Structure 1
Amino acid sequence: MQKKITVLPGDGIGPEVVQAAIKVLETIGEKFNHQFEFTYAKLGGVAIDDCGVPLPEETVEVCKSSDSVLLGAVGGPKWDNLPGHLRPEKGLLGIRKELNLFANLRPVSGHASLSDASTLRKEVIDGVDLMIVRELTGGLYFGEPSERREEDGEEVVVDTLYYKRSEIERIIKKAFELASVRRKKVTSVDKANVLESSRVWREVAEEVGKEYPDIELEHMLVDNAAMQLIRNPKQFDVMVTENMFGDILSDEASMLTGSLGMLPSASIGSDGPGLYEPIHGSAPDIAGQNKANPLATIASTAMMLRYSFGMQAEADAIEKAISEVLENGYRTGDIAESGKDVLNTEEMTAKVIEYLK
């Protein structure tokens, strides 16, 4: 099989972890007789520096013509004082919108060998296996107006939480579809006791739920959901929520695995290429030092193989290799126990490839 992959290394540690993932994909190609063609493009801070905008039109066109997109990370303090429309994160939001990637899938499953890396007790996190489904192209991050202005001689600011009913319906349906091949439970997270948008969200969830009578639907307020993720994460199967709530909850859930460096994600739409990225940031404090944990990006390529290319055996092989590397005690600095040996980015990548072969 031949596939075209657009690579957006981005900023900070992005180029390092993306290069690690490409090496793993090349190994998969050799092992399973596939050909992956990689085309590089610019997004985020590096695009601002080189092109003057966080999302060049050329990048959009290259992504649209590919079978899938692999992203490293965007942002960093270098660009923190730029106007909002020129911030690196605008590039990330823009490419999601351009590709109509309305569903962000963030699996959270703990490795027993990493239980000591989490700040939570072992009995709380052992056996955690949940999927957070985050709406990705609506809500506060895209609503208009979003601006500062002056009223009665005083500066005021407004952000708009905007959703069409159809946008809510499609993301909730995606959650039910995923739950149908998992443990058949959907937790819809909202703030219906305060927000009108959440009350509509809850109504739509009830309507969609009637189409899936064999799947349990529960509603949970977002503040309670944040607490329950730490108190009893094993109660969850599929969690679905709007854009900002999903952003916050999925980062919180990373601590169930011990590190942001462990969680992959997939952003998918109805058709066209999906976008795959680790959920960690650009980590500018360690950029260029060969210290970054590449496992989340490598795991993101497994999601790419599974969801965009239908390569189930290949995806399983990557995930198995990651598990075996961890079970055999290999660690990067972010997940290492005190006094234990630490692998750098390249060494950890080489171990995953060794177990793949």
Structure 2
Amino acid sequence: MAEIKNRSLSEEFLIEIDKIIDYILCNDKFVVTSHINPDGDNIGSSLAMCGFLEALDKEYIYLLDDAYPSSLVFLNREGLRKTSDQVPSLEGYTVIAQDSGSYERICMDKDLLETSRGIICIDHHHTNGDYGFINYIDAKASSTCELVYNIITRYEDIKARPIIGPEIGTCLYAGLVTDTGNFQYSNTEPSSFLMAADLIARGAKKQLVIENIYQKNSPAYYRILGECLNNLEIIDSKICIAIVTKEMLDKYGLEYGDIDAIIPYTRDIDGVELGIFIKQKEIDEIKVSLRSKSYIDCTELAATFDGGGHVRASGCTFRDKSVEEVRNMLLEQAKKLF
């Protein structure tokens, strides 16, 4: 039987991984951060990196200005996460920015960021612009959690010292599961399954992750889901648009972070290639999630509106626009992709 190798560990990537390990070992003060609107890969990779730094007795700050979605609060370590207003300066600290496809999306005050020694970038977005002085960017990797897993396991191999246990393993598993859509998405590689098997063998709490992310929706969520699905709009049998307004969120007593599980419904309809989920976070702020099935590049549509992400999953933000204006702008551009 042919050996299944981790495609993320080419010679090119091993060089960058070793640079990161050497830098961490030779320095003492770090900030771990990620992108705005945190998701499972954002949080899981960040907490795993914090655990790695902790195991190496490094001083670190976990800094993220946006709050966790309710489905991911179970990963939270009380008092660990700081926000920019709690940190006066990052002088002497190196920032490890993970899962952030651009400098602009790093979820911290940029004036504060500029006081640091610089940025190590660890990411899997193909739109990434290499904004770090060390860049480990693999656009074909399933998740940033897989890249952090590669870093930690490379250190384990070099030093013959185990690092990943139940806590770090659970964080990495959460990010792997969410960014692969529970191993449904096209970014799922053989290495993803090997990583999952290894994490579970090391004590990752698989069932805890599944229950919290996929099996803990509130009755109010299902009520808003029903209203949203009842008003789905399907255009030319290829594009599906779903909308949740701020009025709907208030009506059902839900927060913006409670409705992300609706996103796949826009794509998972027979014949539909592109799903568009419009979420009115505030009256003057609208978030859009884009999902495609086979051939539409979501980043192309997102980039039209200064957004980004992955080929099959991207997003963008609109300000001072009505829901109807956003819907019309997106649909006009989306039709050009077919």
Q: Same fold (TM over 0.5)?
A: no
Q: What TM-score, normalized by structure 1, do the two folds share?
A: 0.25
Q: What TM-score, normalized by structure 2, do the two folds share?
A: 0.26
Structure with larger RCO (C-alpha < 8 A, sep 6+): 1
